[in-house]
Amino acid sequence: MSEDGRLVAVVTGANRGIGKAIVRRLLLQQSKPLIIYLTARNMERGQQAFDELRREQLKASSNRCNELRFHQLDVSDIESIRAFIEYLTLMHGEQSTDILINNAGGVVRKDDGSGEVVRKCNVETAYKTVQMNYFTAVNVTSLMVPCMRKGGRVVFMVTALAQLGIFSGDLPKVLVSDELSLQGLHIIENGFVSSVGKGTFSNYGFPPMPFAVAKAGLIAYARMMARICGPDSRDLVFAAVCPGYVKTDMTGPYAPLTPDEGAETPVYVALTDDVKRLKRHNGGLWKHLRPMKW
């Protein structure tokens, strides 16, 4: 909480889609006063999203004590992450953040100018997908956790396609094991990429689904962080949230949910006063405002 009593929230990849919708919900809600950092890799697009949402706030009759700020953040660049954390520390102190929503991510698209998603599971697609959806969020979180305040909440945007049932062999047991380490989880994600390159991924229990494998890594990471931070006196909460099948640039125009509807559950987890419920399901998977079995 900042000196004036407002919570500090950070949303990554927030210039469009679900990320932008999450920022909109946070900005227009009236239950808790917030300082919201809309972050984006692209300065121009991030500033445009900031300007649009700021105009929406001014037109709305909602509580205007919420403050929207924009800061450039490239989650694939460690130095960019560190620079952002330094800025937060300067503005809000060593423990600067109450809410972190890891939304940045994406899919690999064809480089022929069509913008179409690459559907083929090859080693290049697997590598890029795991990097942008798993390792970036882990890097941001690992560096941000020391900056989280008491009662802080960390949300990872995932997909219900990343169910344990898509894996076979020993992988489902390993992914939910209390013995799983961060190094072990990295080995699993990198092992998927390597096995795709060799054409042996099915031998190791992986499906030909890079996006789902990467997001499954985040679900396992949320569980792991809840376990590791359990003794921490700050009582941090971690959650993996599936927004549902949302109409975005990634999914196309036929998905049934709007980005605003997809933003409902992550914002609920970020702001709910039902702390006991969150703690009962710390590290768990959420969808449609409810915890769900992984």
| DSSP codes of every residue in 129-168 | HHIIIIIHHHHHHHHHGGGEEEEEEEEEE--GGG-GGG--
pLDDT(3) > 70: no
Mean pLDDT value across residues 23-41:
97
pLDDT(251) > 80: no
pLDDT(2) > 70: no
Query: For 267-284, how does the pLDDT look when each residue is reduced to its tens digit (9 = 90+)?
Result: 999 999 999 999 999 999
- What 260-264 contacts at long range (C-beta under 8 Å, 24+ apart), as own/partner pairs, is 260/21, 260/24, 260/25, 262/18, 262/21, 263/18, 263/21, 263/22, 263/24, 263/25, 264/25, 264/289
Mean pLDDT value across residues 210-230:
98
pLDDT given at position 256:
86
- Nearest-5° Cα angle at 152, 150 to 158: 160
Average confidence score pLDDT of the chain: 95
Query: For 116-129, how does the pLDDT look when each residue is reduced to its tens digit (9 = 90+)?
Result: 788 889 999 999 99
Evaluate if pTM is beyond 0.85.
Answer: yes
pLDDT given at position 167:
98
Query: For 45-87, how does the pLDDT look when each residue is reduced to its tens digit (9 = 90+)?
Result: 999 999 999 999 999 865 678 999 999 999 999 999 999 999 9
Query: For 109-157, how does the pLDDT look when each residue is reduced to its tens digit (9 = 90+)?
Result: 888 777 778 888 999 999 999 999 999 999 999 999 999 999 999 999 9
pLDDT given at position 196:
98
C-beta separation of 36 from 66 below 8 A? yes
pLDDT given at position 199:
97
Which position has the token pair 């962080």? 225
3-state secondary structure of 98: strand
Largest CA distance in the chain: 58
Mean pLDDT value across residues 224-244:
97
For strand 67-72 and strand 285-287, is the pairing parallel, antiparallel, or unpaired?
unpaired
